[in-house]
Structure 1
Amino acid sequence: MEFFNKVGKVALGSRLRLMTAIITDDAARIYESYGMNFMPKWFPVFYTLLEEKEMTITEIASEIGHSQPSVSKIIQEMIAAGLIEENQKSSDKRRNIVVLTPQGWEFSKELKLQLKDVEAAVDGLITESSHNLWAALEEWEFLLEQKSLLKRVNEHKKKRESQDVKIVEFEPKYLDAFRSLNIEWISTYFEMEEADYKALDNPDEYILNKGGKILVALYHDEPVGVCALIKMNNSDYDFEMAKMAVSPKAQGKNIGFLLGQAIANSARELGAEKIYLESNTILKPAINRYYKLGFQKVFGLATPYKRCNIQMELKI
């Protein structure tokens, strides 16, 4: 086990596979010691049929969490061993029912005795160990069902990479990035509109000189994200959060959320009580991000954009 001591918890899958191989090898020897011509991989299928009496291959696969091709292959092996048979005499001719043979039912009597011995041995292991592996596996299965290991790793990846993101205030040198990043994402999903060009071509006149702000996200000193805080007049809202865009090559680093947080903080510093945004529901990651930032849906405001089908506000 020196390898696992060196590598640590990242080798979890390899260590579990090794333990599975050890237990499976022992299981095969246990069947041999009881004089049983039986393979460990057959057990889930056999036990399910023992309990349910008759099932289709699809039902068995669903019950034991295996793929249908895998179960089909096991079924054929067990038919060859004389333990089960496919019964075509079901009430629904389209359903191919699998059942135990008389030999299978006779074998089950011996198996039940063996299972008592195996259960007693496992109970002994649990008693001798400091940690109940069986209970821990049940807990881990539940936790991974709630949030997969893949999602957990990606969350930590985002968190680590976001530490290299720096949010800075707009400078003239970022004008091209502000324009190109917005045109890139808008053109990917929609069409550029007159209001887009007005803000992107003249950010000083349309945004900055009216009391707004533009923030830029730098990743390794490269501008990869932008977002604007636009002053709103004759409205219930102080500012609009708009023109948020993140380069596709920098997505997955939490940049949109960091920009949104920074814009909300800027609005708070400027004395705002509520900020507003417009979006489209096909942009599901963006909508989820806005909810995470605390925005809620509102209705009925006039909009210059054809693509807008959702309006949201954030009370600061």
Structure 2
Amino acid sequence: MDFFERTGKMALGSRLRLLTAQVTEDAEGIYKLYEVDFVPKWFPVFFVLAADGAKPITEIAAEIGHSQPSVTKIIKEMAEAGLVKDNLKSDDKRRNVAGLTEKGKKLAAKIRIQGEDIERAIENVIAEATHNLWEAIAEWEDLLMQKSLLKRVQEQKKLRESKDVQIVPFVPQYTKVFRDLNEEWISQYFEMEAADYKALDNPKEYILDKGGQILVALYQGEPVGVCALIKMSGSDYDFEMAKMAVSPKAQGKNIGWLLGQAVIGTARELGASNIYLESNTMLKPAINLYYKMGFKKVTGLPTPYKRCNIQMVLDL
């Protein structure tokens, strides 16, 4: 259709709904062809009951991938048509068990004959088609189970927006941004400590003059993220990655990852063999980011921060 050529793949859902509507309309005609008084949406529930016998509604819902209220509604509709009985006796009185009536069992036998003709008709379509839709659907279901379409779109959004991100060296004009962004997240989850004030109030003296670096992330020219690389002396580790902060308004743009990669690249340029960091497991997105970067958990190092309950190291 010209409409779908114009919209492209963003109309996938609309196109599938249109195809589903067409198949459902044909299904209604097929039931009439075989003189079967049946509603197409009942089929998944009816099939399970015909194949397996009486079953709790919760088990039916789990098997066909429907919600329990949806299955309950279908059971009620089929019960009104005389095809199903619910609230059957069971060992567990808390579970609502449904099963086919005699009328339902007779209908099931009739639908099985109809099903054989449908199966052959669909096989003919598959033979005529260039692509096997049935196998493709199974493949798509598996792929979207592994990673949803929403997740995939989120990733593409991050990639697109990250192209508008620049990582630049710290200059004095970013002193306030460096302090404000860090104070914002620290105060949200914990409380500012003496070591925080030391680094944030005097970044030149405490970080830069001692051989460290501070990087700033600009999104469309606006500073929205910061991260420091602090030179460690008298330690087995060369540098500490610290004071990483991203503005809440810039979350979801891959800025933490870009800052981290830039800091790691800077450490390599400075001849570092490893990078150390401290954090708190309450900050799950940050911890996941560090693991993704290749950091591994270590223990036993002294820390000036009360909030620190995890220490990590990246070997370069």
Report deviation, 1:2: 1.1
Q: Which amino acid aligns with 1:51?
A: A
8 Å Cα contact 1:165-1:219 kept in structure 2: yes
Correspondence for 1:153 = 153
Distance 2:70 2:162 in 1: 42
Q: Retained in 1: the 8 A contact 2:190–2:307?
A: yes
**How many residues are aligned here?**
316
Tell me the amino acid that sits aligned with residue 8 of structure 2: G
- State the one-letter code of the partner of 1:182: N
Partner of 1:125: 125
Structure 1: stretches of 5+ with no match in the other structure: none
Root-mean-square deviation over aligned CA pairs: 0.8
The answer (yes or no) to whether the contact 2:88–2:99 under 8 Å persists in 1 is no
Report the counterpart of residue 202 of structure 2 in structure 1.
Answer: 202
State TM-score, norm by structure 2. 0.99
Q: CA deviation at 1:87?
A: 4.2
Aligned to 1:141: 141
- Please state whether the residue corresponding to 2:177 is helix, strand or coil: helix
- Structure-1 separation of matches of 2:244 and 2:84: 62
Q: CA deviation at 1:195?
A: 0.1
User: What CA distance in whole angstroms lies between the structure 1 residues aligned with 2:39 and 2:88?
Assistant: 26
- Equivalent residue for 1:174? 174
Shift in Å, 1:76:
1.0
| Distance in 1 (alpha carbons) for counterparts of 2:135 and 2:297 | 43
Distance in structure 2 (CA, Å) of the matches to 1:276 and 1:96: 57
The one-letter code matched in structure 1 to 2:17 is R
* 1:50 and 2:47 correspond: no
Listed one character per residue, the Cα deviations across residues 83-120 of structure 1 (whole Å, up to 9, x for unaligned) are 11124322333332101001111111111000000000
Alpha-carbon distance between aligned partners in 2 of 1:80 and 1:238, rounded to the nearest angstrom: 75
Q: Which ranges of 4 or more aligned residues in structure 1 deviate by more than 3 Å?
A: none
Residue in 2 that maps onto 1:70: 70
- Cα deviation, 1:139-176, whole Å, max 9, x if unaligned, reads 00000000000000000100010000000000000001
- What does the per-residue CA deviation read over 1:165-198, in whole Å, with 9 as the maximum and x for residues that have no partner? 0000000000010000000010111100000000
SS at match of 2:157: helix
SS at the partner of 1:99?
Answer: strand
> Which residue in 1 is equivalent to 2:310?
310
* Cα distance in 2, alignment partners of residues 281 and 158 from structure 1: 24
Alignment of 1:156-305 (within 5 A): 156-305=156-305
The structural deviation recorded for 1:30 is 0.3
Provide the secondary structure at the position in 2 that maps to 1:245. strand
Could you say what secondary structure the match of 1:301 adopts?
coil
Identity %: 67
C-alpha separation between the residues in 2 aligned to 1:214 and 1:89?
A: 70
